[in-house]
Amino acid sequence: MKFSYAVPASLLAASILFTGCASNNTNGNTAQSTNGAGTNTATNAPAATADAAKTAEAADFTSAIEQYRTFVIEQCDLFVKETEKFTGAVKAGQIEEAKKLYAPTRMYYERIEPIAEALGDLDPHIDARENDVDPAEWRGFHKLEKALWEDKTTAGSEETADQLLKDAQLLRAKVETVEIDANLLVTGAVELLNEVSSSKVTGEEERYSHTDLYDFVANVEGAQKIYELLKPELAKKDAALEQTIGERFAALQAELAPFKSGDGYVSYQQLKEDEVRKLSQNLDALAEPLSNMGTILGV
Amino acid sequence: MNKHDKDKQPTPTTNSEPSQKLLDTKVSRRDMLRLTGATGLGLLLGGGAMGSLLSRGGTAAKAPVAPVQADSSIPFYANHQAGILTPAQNFLYFAAFDLTTTKLSDVKKLLQEWTTAAAALTTGRLVGNTNDSPNLPPSDTGEADGLTPSRCTLTFGVGPSFFDERFGLAGQRPSSLADLPPFVGDNLDPAWCGGDLCVQACADDLQVAFHAIRNLARIARGTAVLRWTQEGFQRTGEADPKNGTPRNLLGFKDGTGNPDVTDEAEMNKIVWQGSGDGPAWMNGGTYMAVRRVRFRIEVWDRSSLSDQEATFGRHRQSGAPIGARDEFDKLDLKAADASGKPLIPADSHSALAHGDGTVKMLRRSYSYSGGLNAKTGQLDAGLLFISFQRDLVKQFVTIQQRLSRNDRLNEYMVHVGSAVFACFPGVREGGFIGDTLLG
């Protein structure tokens, strides 16, 4: 995770555009991922995208944006649900159960991290690592991670657990207000891979639990989701780029496959040096063309 | 015959064709000696060898001659140490040392020997007096023999650990000279931190700078050991004849807002310790902060131009503040667009580094390239940030706290090394480095 305390202005700027769409969705808060595809999209599309694209042949991102919104809300709902289980286990002193729930719970968050980052302090509150913030302000998942794996006790973690659940619920509530536009999608996909590049691939994200591969996979899945949604527009604009990105996603997935273990992934500590390097380089090989998806926004 | 005693040395050949050629290409006698010295063959093999060396045409003579400038040495003895206000040379070789002795007399002896060596190294002379004895290893390691001084400067300092219990100097420690507090996001590797002593070698030639550190480390053997070193570079003067503000490895101009080093009053305010600021031995000295900042090059490379510019708060090509035309246009943090949004984001690097403009420091950083990060296969490259200030806490720490909390640039970099040093005042001829403290 990376953040600044101030909300990144590019995201703020990007967010001004779509207030109308956002409010439409406030009560559609359960998983409707299957039907959101293209029902009522065409009507408000031109107004919505004109600013973002600033091009005569303005691409229509309405459908992609609505589908992404649905995806984000779905992930958020699951995130809150699983966080409730996880923090419940922490509070009940069930260390082994909490450890088992920790990484899978985080995956829902990691898939939509750029959205959380657009919501001010929520990302540091939920996902700050020990040296990311002033010690007095440290809270969230990684504080509990340290308690579970390093201190091996949940005593004294009750407040942190409660706070985390509240923050997760706040994220769920606030996510309704995030204005999503094509620019956010494009930069968000790259940011997800940057997250991997900056901390997960080096094993620095989950320094106590070594569950970095869960985050790694979730970030990549989050980026891939965006790519899939933008694929039709991208294919129109630059078919070769669309194909390259698809191939590189496949290559990275293939690289990750051997590290699956049961429902989850092996510990980062089990990775050999050359395996880490290969993952890192495959990730960069994907992120480089992915960063050119901005071409669909026009010049 | 002492081939290194250039001033007394007769020209080896006078009327031969090669020397005529040399005259035609305006090569001085001294330059020719440099040339022969550099090959190490000239005098051993006599005139014939000289002939063959030079008969390859003008090119052989020209190549080493081009950078030779009469003024390529910077005085070592001065009121302030060189390498601080000195316009940045092309290359840096930075070394932090740990003392292995516990005797203050050894430390004093080391600094005296370093002084003598530094005076030679910065004027292009060989270190020591035993460079011609067949039975001894030469006292100078030789790789800069025949090279110009290349504006070599050597800047010496002592770290906070110099004032621990070992030498009984605790009472002399300047109050702002302490290990830096942890900053948000720090990811420091002890291998890149601290040091009892430091030497900042700068020169327009990397071999000259390396040679200086190598010879000082050699002299120190038995008294001090190298703790960490880092090479640094920036675009050379040759590559940038207009002498514009250098660009860092993120592609942006770095140093535009630096204070004017020719403004003496400003330097006294920002850089040099005045009487009453701290212990008297540091009057005329300055405090150095060093940070090894690794750039997340691969991540940066895939961020859009508008993100990059918003991160710095400046335009990439011109270096001008966002919304302005010229690199040196005022950084107007109040400038806003039609909707009232600041043109220069409040959390951009420029805006935060500038703050309200009341706290300044003198930056003198170099880019570094440390090869490959073995773990990730990514480039290990970034900035060896170096700043000089009158007070580390009031200046560097104040600004870095601001940056570490909010700077957008933090997403693209990580601080992996850190050290601070008190850089002594200048040395007078006959004195030695640190004599105000140990004399």
Q: Which residue of A has its CA nearest to B408?
A: A4
Residue A50: alpha-carbon gap to chain centroid: 26
pLDDT grade for B50, boundaries at 50, 70 and 90: very low
Phi-psi label, residue A94: left if phi above 0, alpha if psi -120 to 50, beta otherwise: beta
CATH number of the domain enclosing A133: 1.20.1420.20
Q: Give yes or no: residues B176 and B85 share one domain.
A: yes
- CB neighbourhood size of B55 (10 A): 11
Q: Each residue of B142-170: pLDDT tens digit?
A: 999 999 999 999 999 999 999 999 999 99
Q: Measured between CB atoms, does A275 come within 8 Å of chain B?
A: no
Q: Each residue of A109-127: pLDDT tens digit?
A: 999 998 988 888 899 999 9
Cβ proximity of A1 and A127 under 8 Å? yes
Q: Each residue of B287-314: pLDDT tens digit?
A: 999 999 999 999 999 999 999 999 999 9
CB contact under 8 A, B376 and A131: no
Q: What is the dihedral of CA B415, A188, A217, A131, to 10 degrees?
A: 30
Cβ proximity of A212 and A274 under 8 Å? no
CB contact under 8 A, B306 and A290: no
Contacts of A207 in chain B (CB under 8 A): none
Task: Report if residue A224 sits inside a domain.
Answer: yes
Nearest one of B78, B57, B68, B77 to B33, comparing CA atoms: B68
Q: Which amino acid is at B299?
A: V
Degrees, nearest 5: CA angle A235-A237-A243: 35
pLDDT grade for B101, boundaries at 50, 70 and 90: very high
Q: Give yes or no: residues B274 and B148 share one domain.
A: yes
For residue B323, pLDDT over 50 is answered with yes
CA distance B197 to A70: 59
Rounded to whole angstroms, what are the CA distances from A139 to A49, A145, A160, A166, B16? 38, 10, 6, 12, 82
**What pLDDT does A118 receive?**
85
Task: Report if residue B3 sits inside a domain.
Answer: no
- Of B38, B65, B92, which residue constitutes the final position of a domain? B65
CA distance A186 to A192: 10
For residue B2, pLDDT over 50 is answered with no
Task: Report if residue A90 sits inside a domain.
Answer: yes
Among the partner residues A131, A276, A287, nearest to B376 by beta-carbon distance: A276
Task: Please report, rounded to a whole number, the percentage of residues in chain A having pLDDT higher than 70.
Answer: 80
CA distance B307 to B313: 10
Burial-class residue B208 by CB neighbours within 10 Å (0-12, 13-18, 19+).
buried
CB contact under 8 A, A8 and B408: yes
Q: Give yes or no: residues B158 and B25 share one domain.
A: no
Task: Report if residue B2 sits inside a domain.
Answer: no
**What pLDDT does A59 receive?**
74
For residue A64, pLDDT over 70 is answered with yes
Q: Measured between CB atoms, does A244 come within 8 Å of chain B?
A: no
- CB neighbourhood size of B194 (10 A): 22
Q: Measured between CB atoms, does A194 come within 8 Å of chain B?
A: yes
- Give the lowest-confidence range in A60-69, A212-221, B279-288: A60-69
Q: Which residue of A has its CA nearest to B409?
A: A4
Rounded to whole angstroms, what are the CA distances from B354 to B112, B348, B402? 40, 10, 10
Average pLDDT over residues B374-395: 96
Chain B nearest-CA distance from A4, in A, is 5
- CB neighbourhood size of A243 (10 A): 13
**What pLDDT does B358 receive?**
95
Q: Give yes or no: residues B24 and B140 share one domain.
A: no
Cβ proximity of A297 and A10 under 8 Å? no
Domain total of chain A: 1
Chain A nearest-CA distance from B363, in A, is 24
For residue B342, pLDDT over 60 is answered with yes
Q: Give yes or no: residues B134 and B269 share one domain.
A: yes
Contacts of A9 in chain B (CB under 8 A): 310, 341, 345, 347
**What pLDDT does A134 receive?**
86
The whole-model pTM stands at 0.81
Q: Each residue of A251-260: pLDDT tens digit?
A: 999 999 999 9
Q: How high does pLDDT run on average in chain A? A: 84
Chain A nearest-CA distance from B413, in A, is 9
Average pLDDT over residues A94-118: 95
CB contact under 8 A, B184 and A133: yes
For residue A5, pLDDT over 50 is answered with no
Chain A nearest-CA distance from B290, in A, is 20
- Give the lowest-confidence range in A27-41, A109-123, B164-178: A27-41
- Give the lowest-confidence range in A94-103, A172-181, B55-64: B55-64
Residue A3: alpha-carbon gap to chain centroid: 13
Task: Report if residue A169 sits inside a domain.
Answer: yes
Domain range enclosing A196: 9-21+59-297
Among the partner residues A5, A6, A201, nearest to B376 by beta-carbon distance: A201
- Give the lowest-confidence range in A9-18, A250-259, B357-366, B429-438: A9-18
CB contact under 8 A, A9 and B347: yes
Cβ proximity of B34 and B68 under 8 Å? yes
**What pLDDT does B15 receive?**
39
pLDDT grade for B71, boundaries at 50, 70 and 90: low
CB contact under 8 A, B307 and A287: no
* DSSP three-state, residue A265: strand
Nearest one of B370, B422, B361 to B191, comparing CA atoms: B370
For residue A61, pLDDT over 50 is answered with yes
- Give the lowest-confidence range in B58-62, B280-284, B297-301: B58-62
Q: What is the dihedral of CA B363, B368, B374, B379, to 10 degrees?
A: 100
Task: Report if residue A197 sits inside a domain.
Answer: yes
* HEC-encoded secondary structure of chain B: CCCCCCCCCCCCCCCCHHHHHHHHCCCCHHHHHHHHHHHCCHHHHHHHHHHHHHCCCHHHHHHHHCCCCCCCCCCCECCCCCCCCCCCCCEEEEEEEEECCCCHHHHHHHHHHHHHHHHHHCCCCCCCCCCCCCCCCCCCCCCCCCCCCCCCEEEEEECHHHHCCCCCCHHHCCCCCCCCCCCCCCCCCHHHECCCEEEEEEECCHHHHHHHHHHHHHHHCCCEEEEEEEEEECCCCCCCCCCCCCECCCCCECCCCCCCCCCHHHHHHHCCCCECCECHHHCCCEEEEEEEEEECHHHHHCCCHHHHHHHHCECCCCCCECCCCCCCCCCCCCCECCCCCECCCCCCHHHHHHCCCCCCCEECCEEEEEEECCCCCCEEEEEEEEEEECCHHHHHHHHHHHHHHHCHHHHHEEEEEEEEEEECCCECCCCCCCHHHHC
pLDDT grade for A60, boundaries at 50, 70 and 90: confident
For residue B45, pLDDT over 50 is answered with no
- CB neighbourhood size of B67 (10 A): 15
Write the DSSP symbol of residue A150: I
Chain A nearest-CA distance from B361, in A, is 24
CB contact under 8 A, B302 and A288: yes
CA distance A108 to B323: 40
CB contact under 8 A, A198 and B299: yes
Q: Each residue of A125-168: pLDDT tens digit?
A: 999 998 888 889 999 999 999 999 999 999 999 999 999 999 99
**What pLDDT does A119 receive?**
85
Domain range enclosing B386: 79-439
Q: Measured between CB atoms, does A269 come within 8 Å of chain B?
A: no
For residue A20, pLDDT over 50 is answered with no
Task: Report if residue B12 sits inside a domain.
Answer: no
Contacts of A123 in chain B (CB under 8 A): none
CA distance B203 to B82: 11
Chain A nearest-CA distance from B402, in A, is 11
Average pLDDT over residues B393-401: 97
For residue B59, pLDDT over 60 is answered with no
For residue B62, pLDDT over 90 is answered with no
Nearest one of B155, B253, B167, B160 to B199, comparing CA atoms: B155
Task: Report if residue A4 sits inside a domain.
Answer: no
Q: Which residue of B has its CA nearest to A196?
A: B299
Task: Please report, rounded to a whole number, the percentage of residues in chain B having pLDDT higher than 90.
Answer: 82
Task: Report if residue A47 sits inside a domain.
Answer: no
- Of B37, B65, B93, which residue constitutes the final position of a domain? B65
Task: Report if residue A27 sits inside a domain.
Answer: no
Degrees, nearest 5: CA angle B77-B83-B89: 125
Task: Report if residue B6 sits inside a domain.
Answer: no
Among the partner residues A6, A9, A291, nearest to B302 by beta-carbon distance: A291
Task: Report if residue A32 sits inside a domain.
Answer: no
Rounded to whole angstroms, what are the CA distances from B326 to B52, B234, B244, B329? 53, 22, 13, 5
Task: Report if residue B375 sits inside a domain.
Answer: yes
Contacts of A212 in chain B (CB under 8 A): none
Task: Report if residue B270 sits inside a domain.
Answer: yes
Domain total of chain B: 2
Strand B379-389, strand B362-363: pairing = antiparallel
